[in-house]
Amino acid sequence: MAGERALLRHCPLLLPQDRHGTAYEGFVTAQGRDFHIRILLPADLQLKNARIECSWHLKKILHGYRHILKQRLHSCPDLVSFMVELKTVLEIALKNTQDLHIPRPPEYYSCLVRDLEILGWNRVAYVDTGLTTVKLKAEDSCGRQHLITLKLNAKYPTEPPGCFVDFPVPFAFSWMPQNSLIDIYNQFLAALESLKEFWDALDEIDGKTWVLEPENPTRSATTRRIAIGNNVSVNVEVDPRHPNMLPECYFLGADHEVNPLRTKLNNNMHLWDPEISLLQNLRELLEIDFPSRVVLEKSDFAKDCGICYAYRLDGSVPNQVCDDPRCGQPFHQACLYEWLQSLPTSRQSFNVIFGECPYCNK
């Protein structure tokens, strides 16, 4: 009864439809507007399994917030807490929706068109029909293509636009009410040049080695998993602000393969030379030549998991390898963990599980 009273206090227009408290229907109110909603709970009243039905208008308003609402359903202890969260999200969604539909004054359009003309239409990659989203393209000094997406609100240029870039670091720009798109674009170009050495280092790795992960790296990606040999690789994480310094290195493979590499890296760390490229440094410290893209194919290193017989599983590639030199079969960590859990001979200590290889039983 206390729960129903609390619900009545927060959502007086949402009423129970049965005596078990598994169905509620009515209206949720936000910013003086009522929206039809129906909530169906399972017999155990668990919110995470609830179904929400609403009017098409409310569904449209909350479209971009579905992942947040789903998260709230899983985390809220009861229906009252969820309805309070729903009303908060709805208030935010309505505010943002209204902002998109605030009529722009004529000065907004004349100012925006003037800025685009000064920049040059050849630098404009996209403009939406409402002139609220603009994508500008730029080429850095090495010929790499980049995009910056600008979301302009109704108060532009008094308020700065939202900026979205594919950078490994936050793009912080300064803005004054008298500024324009030209000022942001110039700061964007300067930021591109500040990241030149970082992208140079990763482009060399992408062009001269076999990168196992990520499959299609974005400009914001800071890691590369580089093939060294059959079922042996190194995961390198490069600092975007200091790309010429020794990166974090994590070796993947059987112990008898990766232990000598770890030893070489530790013994040769003092030889790291920031004046030469990151890839050349890795070659010299590890005393190896990375497999050539000219001679070998990626399939020579991309060996399928020995349990699910696939290479990629939920975006992951096999990263666990049998330590027996005569076996060396790779597995996805998730597949191997599930397999070992099913064996009565396996043992577990904290979050580490020990058991026999599915292939060689070692």
CB-hemisphere CA count at 13 Å for 85?
18
* 164 and 90 in a common domain: no
| Domain final residue pick, 53, 73, 100 | 100
Residue 201 is assigned to a structural domain of this protein: no
239-279 per-position pLDDT tens digit: 999 999 999 998 987 788 889 999 999 999 999 999 999 99
Residue 199 is assigned to a structural domain of this protein: no
* 310 and 284 in a common domain: no
Enclosing H/E stretch for 138: strand 133-139
Determine the pLDDT at residue 208.
Answer: 92
Residue 100 confidence (pLDDT) above 70: no
Number of domains in the chain: 4
Q: How confident is the model at residue 226 (pLDDT cuts 50, 70, 90)?
A: very high
Residue 198 is assigned to a structural domain of this protein: no
* 263 and 182 in a common domain: no
* 250 and 275 in a common domain: yes
Cα–Cα distance between 35 and 311 in angstroms, integer?
Answer: 47
Mean pLDDT of 201-211: 93
Residue 292 is assigned to a structural domain of this protein: yes
Residue 85 confidence (pLDDT) above 60: yes
* 92 and 115 in a common domain: no
Q: Is 191 helix (H, G, I), strand (E, B) or coil?
A: helix
| Domain final residue pick, 100, 125, 146 | 100
Residue 350 is assigned to a structural domain of this protein: yes
> CA nearest 209: which of 231, 197, 225?
225
Read off the CATH number of the domain in which 233 is found: 3.10.110.20
* 168 and 74 in a common domain: no
* 213 and 149 in a common domain: no
Tracing tokens 């507007």 back to the chain, one arrives at: 33
Cis peptide before 214 (omega within 30 of 0): yes
Determine the pLDDT at residue 43.
Answer: 83
Mean pLDDT of 51-66: 84
CB-hemisphere CA count at 13 Å for 275?
1
Mean pLDDT of 71-97: 83
Cα–Cα distance between 262 and 285 in angstroms, integer?
Answer: 10
327-362 per-position pLDDT tens digit: 777 888 888 888 888 888 888 877 788 888 887 777
124-147 per-position pLDDT tens digit: 999 988 888 999 999 999 999 999
* 1 and 95 in a common domain: yes
Burial profile 160-192: b = 16 or more Cβ within 10 angstroms, e = fewer: bbebebebbeeeebeeeeeebbebbbebbbebb
Residue 66 is assigned to a structural domain of this protein: yes
Domain residues for the domain of 239 are: 209-300
Residue 343 is assigned to a structural domain of this protein: yes
Read off the CATH number of the domain in which 73 is found: 3.10.110
| Domain final residue pick, 193, 221, 253 | 193
By the 8 A CB rule, do 138 and 188 touch? yes
Read off the CATH number of the domain in which 175 is found: 3.10.110.10
Q: Is the model's pTM score more than 0.75?
A: no
279-325 per-position pLDDT tens digit: 999 999 999 998 877 766 666 666 777 778 777 777 677 878 777 77
Read off the CATH number of the domain in which 328 is found: 3.30.40.10
Determine the pLDDT at residue 348.
Answer: 81
Residue 346 is assigned to a structural domain of this protein: yes
